[in-house]
Structures are given as structure tokens and as C-alpha cells.
Amino acid sequence: MSNIKNLKIISIPKISDPEGRGNLSFVEKNIIPFKIKRVYYLYDVPSDGSRGGHAHKKLNQFLIALSGSFDVIVDDGSSKKTFTLNKPNKGLFIPNGIWREMENFSAGAICLVLASDYFDESDYFRDYKRFIQFKHI
């Protein structure tokens, strides 16, 4: 069963242009610990808004702040930790069985999410009490 210790910030390769024209980063199969089956992104989230508020039974995710910043509060049912994502060459690996909430979005923040599987509503815990019951079985 996943816990906070299974989460990690992973560096994404960054190639800087020697002529000062910007940077390029990429994600390939050896960067994150799962095969990507779905990609989506969050944007235009109000600064006082929040996203997430759920956990997955099987799905793994990798979150990247493509622009701006936001906090990811993770909870394994016993402990909590906050990660601030604010660099497009760093991402947060969240394995299954971890509750997550996202808040404190800066203006213009864009969160890219790489997921290990296709959308399946039955994979979600959307009720925190049910999540805690599952974790303590």
C-alpha cells in the first residue's frame, strides 16, 4: 500500500538553448515509473480555487507545473505533506492510494497530468472517509 514515502519529485531533462532562445524539456518512458495512457491539464483555476480532492485505487499520476505554481497536499491516511510545484523541469510522482488536493494556484498556472490509465470513475475515492476506511483495512 502506498504511503507518503513513495512520492517523489523527479527531474525532467532540460535543454537550454545556447543562443538564449529558451528551454526545452521532455518526458520519455525512462523518466517516470509507468506507461502513460492519458494526458490532461488544468488551467484558469482561480487563486482561491482547489482541484483534486480524491485518491485513486490503481492509477498513478505525474504532475508538472508547466507555468506558474501551485501546492499539492498529499495524504496517505496516516500523514500529510505539501509539495509546491513551480518549475516545468520538475514533476511530482503520485502513486495510487494517495489522497491529493491542489490549491494556491498562481495566476496563469498550468498543471499537466500524466496518468497510467484511462479515465475510470470506479477507480476514484471521492469521499475522504471511505478512503480512510480503505487505507486502514
Residue identified by cell 482547489 is 50
Catalytic residues: 54
Q: For residue 122, give the 3-state DSSP assignment.
A: helix
CB-based burial, 23-59: b 16+ in 10 Å, e otherwise: eebebeeebbebebeeeeebeebeeeeebbeebbeeb
